[in-house]
């Protein structure tokens, strides 16, 4: 469908979908088809749709980022890893890289370089053609990757090595030019495999470490420590009475956000209408560790689209039972709700925005191998629905849909 002549610059959004034709979907057996679509957010009309290459393996999801007019798509199957670069003007393929390495878990961009990591390797690739600049092979298990203009930071966990109190992890800084180790700092964490994360801000590297698994309600269980980027030396340390996972921590600008179970929550102090309010969202000054604001909540997921755009949503409980769908926009200065829609729950990777419009994909799964997506455009200022329509797909099989944004500095953060 051609766009109307009135389409304005800056209203174009991009969607990446994998159409899986499975033999055994649960075992990732079969062949995928990749579709990339550009559409106008003011109308929902399709600008162009491309199938940029013939895929020979089963890829069911991907990570994507738009940088300087190029859409980069990274995905991994059981047998290989795929990295593509597409021109967003018409979707044509600029270059592709497919290797037998598997398990790529993240993709970061900094100063003309793409950084990717597997469970044991970090690679620096040239952004112009995907060729390897350097590769770092870790003797330990890798679970994180953070990049800045001066260093690459990773989390390394000793394999088959545990202390009496838990696993030993290292915050490691690599030189961006050659991938050589600049410094390494050891931490002892709780016995959970997801208890440590590094985040880089403009002035510091933040290490978030869960130091206990089953604490008393009066004891802090999470430590937030700010490190000097050049040396790894501690600047400040803050204990928090919160149980959190690595995915529940993010930093934007000079603010650090933590979301987790409040260990000091007292249900008797809350009315019955505020049940399940045992989760706590905190905003800290990343330079000093001082608390800016905090709020109890019962949201299941948060997504940042920029420093000023925070969205919260819920709709399904951990036991599989459905609840009321809710999507809210939060004020990043106070943490309070600005507006809410009680009929939408975005799928995890399908929330995107331009200057004025928020795009949401609400997903239904009528059967194990079938997904139905509905596309919604929402006014970012007041939460009013501007238009909605079904996402058109020619395939009756499983289709995953992910939205991405044009602005290179608008990296989606989910936590």
CA distance 124 to 122: 7
Percent of the chain, pLDDT > 70?
A: 76
Instruction: Please tell me the predicted confidence (pLDDT) of residue 415.
Output: 67
Distance CA 286, CA 221 (A): 19
pLDDT of residue 228 exceeding 80? yes
Residues shown for the chain: 415
3-state helix, strand, coil in the chain (%, to 5): 5, 55, 40
pTM as predicted = 0.83
CA distances from 268 to 218, 264, 272 (A): 17, 12, 9
Q: So what's the pLDDT on residue 151?
A: 93
Least confidently predicted of 83-87, 119-123, 392-396: 392-396
Give dist(CA 151, CA 181) in Å, integer: 10
Q: What is the mean pLDDT of the chain?
A: 81
Q: Output the pLDDT for position 301.
A: 87
- Whether pLDDT at 150 is above 60: yes
Per residue in 179-224, pLDDT (tens digit) is 999 999 998 876 555 678 899 887 889 999 877 665 555 566 788 9
Least confident of 17-31, 140-154, 273-287: 17-31
Question: pLDDT-based confidence at 409, cuts 50/70/90?
Answer: very low
Q: What is the mean pLDDT of residues 155-171?
A: 71
Q: What is the pLDDT of residues 362-396, one digit of tens each?
A: 887 666 666 778 899 999 999 999 999 988 765 55
Q: What percent of the chain has pLDDT over 90?
A: 37
The lowest-confidence range among 57-71, 173-187, 389-403 is 389-403
- Section 254-271 average pLDDT: 76
């Amino acid at each position: 469908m051609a766009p109307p002549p009135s389409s304005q610059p800056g209203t174009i959004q991009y969607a990446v979908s994998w159409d899986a034709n499975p033999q055994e979907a649960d075992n990732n057996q079969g062949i995928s088809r990749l579709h990339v679509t550009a559409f106008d957010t003011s109308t929902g009309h399709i600008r162009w749709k491309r199938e940029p290459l013939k895929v020979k393996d089963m890829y069911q999801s991907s990570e994507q980022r738009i940088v300087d007019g190029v859409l980069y798509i990274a995905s991994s199957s059981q047998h290989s890893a795929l990295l593509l670069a597409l021109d967003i003007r018409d979707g044509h393929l600029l270059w592709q890289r497919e290797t037998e390495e598997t398990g790529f878990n993240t993709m970061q961009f900094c100063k003309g370089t793409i950084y990717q990591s597997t469970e044991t390797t970090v690679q620096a690739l040239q952004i112009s053609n995907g060729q390897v600049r350097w590769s770092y092979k870790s003797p330990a298990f890798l679970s994180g990757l953070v990049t800045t203009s001066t260093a690459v930071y990773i989390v390394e966990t000793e394999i088959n090595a545990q202390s009496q109190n838990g696993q030993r992890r290292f915050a490691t800084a690599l030189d961006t030019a050659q991938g050589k180790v600049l410094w390494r700092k050891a931490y002892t964490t709780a016995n959970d495999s997801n208890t440590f994360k590094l985040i880089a801000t403009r002035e510091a590297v933040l290490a978030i470490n869960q130091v206990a698994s089953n604490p008393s309600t009066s004891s802090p269980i999470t430590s937030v420590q700010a490190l000097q980027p050049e040396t790894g030396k501690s600047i400040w340390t803050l204990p928090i009475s919160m149980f959190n996972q690595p995915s529940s921590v993010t930093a934007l600008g000079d603010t650090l956000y933590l979301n987790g179970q409040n260990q000091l929550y007292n249900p008797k102090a809350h009315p019955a209408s505020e049940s399940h309010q045992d989760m706590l969202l905190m905003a800290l000054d990343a330079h000093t560790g001082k608390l800016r604001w905090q709020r109890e909540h019962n949201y299941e997921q948060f997504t940042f689209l920029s420093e000023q755009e925070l969205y919260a949503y819920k709709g399904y409980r951990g036991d599989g039972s459905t609840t009321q769908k809710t999507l809210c926009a939060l004020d990043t200065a106070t943490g309070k709700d600005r507006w809410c829609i009680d009929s939408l729950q975005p799928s995890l990777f399908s929330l995107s925005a331009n200057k004025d419009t928020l795009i949401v994909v609400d997903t239904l799964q009528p059967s194990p191998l079938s997904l139905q997506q509905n596309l919604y455009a929402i006014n970012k200022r007041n939460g009013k629905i501007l238009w909605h329509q079904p996402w058109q797909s020619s395939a009756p099989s499983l289709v995953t849909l992910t939205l991405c944004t044009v602005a290179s500095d608008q990296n989606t953060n989910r936590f």
